[in-house]
Structure 1
Amino acid sequence: MHEMIKGANVDLASLSEDVDSVALGLSWSSATGDGDADVSVLLLGADGKVRGDADFFFYNNPAAVDGSVQLLGKTPTADGSEDRISLDLTAIPPDVERIVVGASRYGGARFGELDGLRMTLADRAGEVLLGFSIEDAGVESAFIFGEIYRRGGGWRFRAVGQGYETGLAGLATDFGLDVEDDAEAETAAPVLEATPEPGPEPGSDGAPETEKPAEPLPAVPRQPDRRTPAEEPSPAPARRPRTARKKVTLPRVARKSLAENDSWRQARLFPVSSLKSDRERETRATSILLSVMAQVPEFGRRLTAAFGAPAGRMETFTEVSLPHGDSPKRPDGVIRVERAGKLWTALVETKTNGNPLKAEQVQDYMDIAARRGYEAVITLSNDVALEGSPLVDVRIDRRRKHKVALRHLSWAEVAHQAQMLIRHEGVGNAAHAWLLQELLHYLRHENSGCHGFQNMGPAWVPVRNAIDTETLCQGDERALEVVESWERLVRQVCLRLGGELGRKVLPVQRARRGTDPHSRRAALADRLCRDGRLYAELRVEGTPGILAITADLRTGRLRTSIEIPAPEQGYPLAWAKRLVRQLAEAPADLHVETLVEGQGGGPRGTLERLRPEPGDILPKDGARITGFRLSLLKGMGSTRGNAETGFIRSVDDAVHRFHAGVVAHLERRPSRRSGAETPTG
């Protein structure tokens, strides 16, 4: 990997022969685990300015209609998170000379509060070609990490590392965009909160919705309805007309059924109850998924963009026979995308239920793909891939000039993307929404075999027994297997909760900067051996704190909790009363604990006991209150599977119950101290 320094530049073609499409990663971490930023991309003409509002891509406008730019969202890393961007350089319009890649923080937060600011660039096959770290961040609230620019018929990369104290507004203004100032944003914020109706999906037509230039609104707190910049309301009471084509989402409340009685079953496009064998399930699931991907462009693009596929006409095939040695091989599926006369091809290998991927089978497909000039092999199963731990080990022939990317997709991620589109972000028409709904119904059917991660592995029972008998020793490989399974489960819980809420939900992984995933998991395995507990933290966009999960294998109990900071103004008794009012519909057995400066935990009690006397939660000595911890306890499943009595089901249910019953009732407001969101005080 080519390591860059500030101001340096390099020809991309000198690093790889396959840079028609590149993937950028912007990463950071924070000591508290809740530091975050948002990426943005600007396309600039020869004059150094955007050609129009459609050349600005950010969290409310994540994709270009021609597929040249797509913000792929955040993924967890060993010590933070990474925001990914896909650039199809062959699709960049010829009058675009530079592509600027930056990031911004909001609510008064600064980049100096984050650690490990870094940008990487990978080729189509996923090989990281270069990296650039920013070491001098301070009071800046926006940063240009780097830029890709044309030179001599090719593309070069320059490490920029330029910061702006004026945030995204200052950055965008430099490149010819109109933005609102802070005063306008503050005035607009209440209007945003009063209009929860979701707008059309951003970037659907590549053009602003009105004649007035789009306004990115960098200072306005982000709202879950994902409006495009031109849709943000002005301070005036009257809203601008919305002329963009409305995207279709399915209603949350089902229409009244016309069936005579409950025994009538609705006709389904993809029937599943008759499936008898795993082979039937694999064949049916592959065919259904690939056909829906080809017919619903938004969905097909969503699943393949992260694998380096261009935006173009997609066709999919199943049971294709390809020559290989003495006998042909038949991958479960083939995806082909055509753009400007060029083909991008991926072979697909599918598994359902608990069937594992076979290394020799995947190796054959990798060899076939390399020999035939295909770009990728995609494995699809219920398992969840972990950073630094491939699900199958394959041999890569470095002598071959053509590189093949090996990528993995879990059935849980497929369901997540379908749900995000039809429930929150919208698709092009009602038929597409219906197709995705039928796909989602199929994946969730008990007989489909596509239920996601559903087995904690063979080490689960021996580790639990060893914890009970206090015979589990540090360094035991079985403890490491349990930790890896726990991490897979937590990632799947994030996908499911994010799909329900329509928001980003990511695991928080606290580790020292530079810690590799294997070392981090080994440390967690030692901790499991020492105290018999598994820990995880989730960052849910729009919530006032980090959602923590503790699975105590000694006692067989699950704890879900969240810590919320104390308001900056008012009196402690008023805080306690308001908190109890906010939690009026929360479970009566919710534990409420006061956090006291210098002491950690203070007075505590159940919500049932505190409702008549909220003041009981206050410390008697008048100590300074720093916040409150809210917790729910429940028994956890003992078996390793996904049955009603299984551990996986109990964790999933506990997180959803805690968010719906507790977290969802917490109001929020921006804190003047650091931009964090805190309960109203």
Structure 2
Amino acid sequence: MKKPEYLVSGEFARLIPVATKPELRNTCVTCAMLMAVEEFAESLLGTLGAPTGKRAKTRAWVEPVFKSSKNDSKDRPDALIVVDNGRREWRALVEAKSRGADLDSVQVDRYLDIAKEHGVDAVVTISNQFVSTPTQSPCDINRQKLKKVSLFHWSWSYLKTEAKIQISKSTVSDPDQSYMLEEYVRYLEHDSAGVSEFEQMGKEWVETCKLYFAKSKVDKKSPLGAAVVSDWDELMRCTALRMSRDLETNVTTVLSAKERKDPNGRLEALQNTFTSTGELKSRLNVPGAASPISVEADLTRRSVTVSMTVDAPRDKKRAPATVTWLLRQLSKTEDGSIMIVAKWPGRTQETCAELVQIREDSEILVRDRKGQLPRTFEIRAVSDLGGKFTQRRNFVPELVSCVTRFYEIVGQHVVPWQAPPPKPKKVRSADEEAIKPESVDETEEKNSEHLDDDDLRTMDSGYTETPEEVRPIPSFEEVDT
């Protein structure tokens, strides 16, 4: 494939690379998959703003060098991706790291300058670092430079997860392309690729846990809080990816529109909440689940709380009936740590009881509020991790286990309440209308319209002939006579 005229040099991305550097080899294989598998390219590049559709063609060159670049020719991104659908061309520079290497903010900053100079639309970074969404970046970049060029980030685990989901759902129509995608997953799972999950919290975790357990706090301006919040964000993203692979669907962290627009502001707000309360909170969205899954780590109590909140049914007349509705959905849940919290309208205090106790007596959750109906139910599982909570390496698998187990025993069984469909108003049939009682005036008026001379003579004689089915019931005096 002939390279673009605006490049001095650059090798066309190959499916079987000859590069020796792990990050360059991984980048080359990934770019080749984007060119070969249309569905894979559309799911990844389409969300970044690249044109999609049957006419969209993806091409990629490794280690591109632009003509007349103001920067040093040694500043060579790992790849250039070009997507063209005949009407619009979209381009992105790629910078990748593998194994334990983190992205260099200064280097990414220079690539943003190159992209702006040559009209490149975006810079995409790839590493083992995790972020909540591709629009966020693990690098601290001057936001002014992102006015003309967009910055995105993928983790290698995210790419592997996306490929696995497409394979499991059979979204790739061509069998050869599906086989190539399977081989791509196999490649990323090999140790030589250097792809790793989030395995442990940072060194600041232990010190921070000790402070809050001793009823102390971290200063808002302290680097400890920022480091812990950053690790927590990566851990939740890693947890979402693991659940995505298990459930074969895209599990994501829940972000508001404001948080998606301002990722740095979101992290600052999360840090302020953490430093003041000692609690780390996040929510995961599982497609089709009754509600998002809330995850909370409390450094003061050294516990992890996983919960879901569902609306109570509105078509019940008694509060115990609403509790029974929820118990039916949790009939297969045998975990003794599950608790149910009923939240009532207004300022009425919420009630709480263990699932085991509620099964024996549903009234224990209602208590003296039988005249009211609960507004929502919160299904909660609290795990006291004890010493494992402060251990950097052990905390990660323990938290992931808490979340995945909660979804297994609760999340997959609970369905949201839906109001029953409205019933049609009963309409009288034609036969019912025919025998509908009429007033005396209406009956005489209808009869007079069809009377002939014989009928009139009969009426004058005082005799009328009454049909059998409508003849009046005789009185007791008439029967005696």
TM-score of the alignment, normalized to the shorter chain, above 0.5: yes
Sequence identity, in percent?
A: 26
Output the CA distance in 2 between the equivalents of 1:591 and 1:670: 23
Q: From the CA coordinates, give the structure whose radius of gyration is larger.
A: 2
Contact 2:311 2:417 in 1 (8 A): no
Per-residue CA distance 1:10-56 (angstroms, 9 max, x = gap) = xxxxxxxxxxxxxxxxxxxxxxxxxxxxxxxxxxxxxxxxxxxxxxx
How far apart are residue 486 of structure 1 and its match?
Answer: 2.2
Q: In 2 relative to 1, CA 608–291 (structure 1 residues): closer, same or farther, beyond 3 Å?
A: same
**Among 474, 486, 492, which residue is 2:232 paired with?**
486
Q: Pick closer, same or farther for the CA change 1:507–1:378 going to 2, 3 Å.
A: closer
Aligned ranges 1:396-407 → 2 under 5 Å: 403-407=148-152
Change (3 A) 1:614 1:449: farther
Q: Look up the equivalent residue of 2:183 and give its one-letter code.
A: E
Q: Quick check: 1:352–1:381 contact (8 Å CA) kept in 2? A: yes
SS of aligned partner of 1:662: helix
- One-letter identity of the residue aligned with 1:424: K
Q: Which residue of 1 aligns with 2:380?
A: 631
Name 2:411's counterpart in structure 1.
663
TM-score by length of 1: 0.50
Q: 2:307 aligns with which of 561, 565, 568?
A: 561
CA-CA distance at 1:662 after TM superposition: 0.4
Partner of 1:293: 34
Which secondary structure does the structure 2 equivalent of 1:460 belong to? Answer: helix
Per-residue CA distance 1:602-639 (angstroms, 9 max, x = gap): 1401x344444444433245252333221112245546
1:315 aligns with 2:59: yes
Equivalent position SS for 2:412: helix
Tell me the alpha carbon deviations over residues 261-298 of structure 1, each in whole angstroms, 9 at most, x when there is no partner. Answer: xxxxxxxxx99xxxxxxx74323322322222111111
Partner of 1:526: 272
8 Å Cα contact 1:382/1:454 also seen in 2: no
Deviations 1:157-190 (A, max 9, x none): xxxxxxxxxxxxxxxxxxxxxxxxxxxxxxxxxx
Higher helix share goes to which structure? 2
CA–CA separation in structure 2 for the residues paired with 1:481 and 1:514: 20
Q: Distance in 1 between matches of 2:287 and 2:99?
A: 31
What TM-score, normalized to structure 2? 0.69
The answer to whether structure 1 residue 437 and structure 2 residue 178 are counterparts is no
**From 365, 379, 384, the counterpart of 2:130:** 384
1:283 maps to amino acid: L
Q: Does the CA-based 8 Å contact 1:474-1:525 persist in structure 2?
A: no
Contact 1:560 1:633 in 2 (8 A): yes
- Number of the residue aligned with 1:337: 83
Query: Which residue, out of 572, 577, 593, partners 2:319?
Result: 572
Can you list the C-alpha shifts for 1:541-570, whole angstroms capped at 9, x where unaligned?
333333211101122211101122221223
Structure 2 equivalent of residue 259 of structure 1 = none
CA contact (8 A) 2:137 2:152 kept: no
Deviation per CA, 1:351-384: give whole Å up to 9, x if none: 1233211133224433444444443321111223
Tell me, yes or no, if the aligned pair for 1:363 and 1:394 is still in contact at 8 Å: yes
Q: How far apart, in 2, do the equivalents of 1:443 and 1:560 lie?
A: 31
Residue 535 of structure 1 and its aligned partner are, at CA, apart by 1.6
- Please identify, of 513-522 and 405-414, the stretch whose mean Cα deviation from structure 2 is larger: 513-522
- In 1, the alpha carbon distance for the partners of 2:115 and 2:282 equals 38
Q: 3-state SS of the aligned residue for 2:208?
A: helix
- Per the TM alignment, residue 314 of structure 1 is displaced from its structure 2 partner at its CA by 1.7
Q: Which secondary structure state, in structure 1, belongs to the residue aligned with residue 304 of structure 2?
A: strand
Q: Name the CA shift for 1:397/1:595 in 2 (closer, same or farther; >3 Å).
A: closer
**What do the CA deviations read for 1:286-319 (whole angstroms, capped 9, x no partner)?**
2322222111111012222233323422223334
Task: Provide the secondary structure at the position in 1 that maps to 2:380.
Answer: strand
Q: Report whether the alignment pairs 1:648 with 2:396.
A: yes
Q: Does 1:617 align with 2:362?
A: no
Larger fraction in strand: 1
Give 1:665-680 correspondences, 5 Å limit.
665-671=413-419
- 1:469 has 2:214 as partner: yes
Alignment CA distance shift 1:373-1:592 (3 Å): closer
* CA distance in 1: counterparts of 2:369 and 2:141, whole angstroms: 64
Verify the 8 A CA contact 2:312 2:375 in the aligned structure 1.
Answer: yes
Q: Which has the higher contact order (CA 8 A, sep 6+)?
A: 1
Q: How does 1:86-235 map to 2 (within 5 A)?
A: none
Contact 2:312 2:417 in 1 (8 A): no
Contact 1:314 1:338 in 2 (8 A): yes
Comparing 624-633 with 290-299, which one deviates more in the overlay? 624-633
Q: Distance in 1 between matches of 2:72 and 2:415?
A: 66
Counterpart amino acid of residue 287 in structure 1: C
Counterpart of 2:350 in structure 1 is 601
Whether contact under 8 Å (2:303, 2:389) holds in the other structure is no
In structure 2, C-alpha distance between the alignment counterparts of 1:393 and 1:573, rounded to whole Å: 53
Say which SS state the counterpart of residue 350 (structure 2) adopts.
Answer: strand
> Aligned-pair distance for 1:656?
1.7
Asked if 1 retains the 8 angstrom alpha-carbon contact of 2:136 and 2:152, the reply is no
Please tell me whether residue 587 in structure 1 is matched to residue 328 in structure 2. Answer: no
Contact 1:410/1:452, CA 8 A, preserved across alignment: no
What letter matches 2:31 in structure 1? L
CA deviation string 1:65-89 (max 9, x = no partner): xxxxxxxxxxxxxxxxxxxxxxxxx
SS of structure 2 residue aligned to 1:564: strand
- In structure 1, the residue matched to 2:476 is none
- Equivalent residue letter for 1:582: Q
Residue 604 of structure 1 aligns with an amino acid whose one-letter code is A
Q: Which amino acid aligns with 1:290?
A: C
Give the length in aligned residue pairs: 390
The one-letter code matched in structure 2 to 1:427 is V
Residue of structure 1 in register with 2:473 after alignment: none
Please state whether the residue corresponding to 2:169 is helix, strand or coil: helix
Aligned partners of 1:351 and 1:381 also within 8 Å: yes
- Secondary structure of 1:671's match? coil
Give secondary structure in 1 for the equivalent of 2:314: coil
> Which residue, 290, 305, 320 being the options, matches 2:46?
305
SS at match of 2:39: helix
Unaligned runs of 5+ in 2: 1-14, 422-481
Q: 2-side partners of 1:465 and 1:409: how far apart?
A: 33
- The structure-2 alpha-carbon separation of the partners of 1:333 and 1:321, relative to structure 1 and needing over 3 Å to count, comes to same
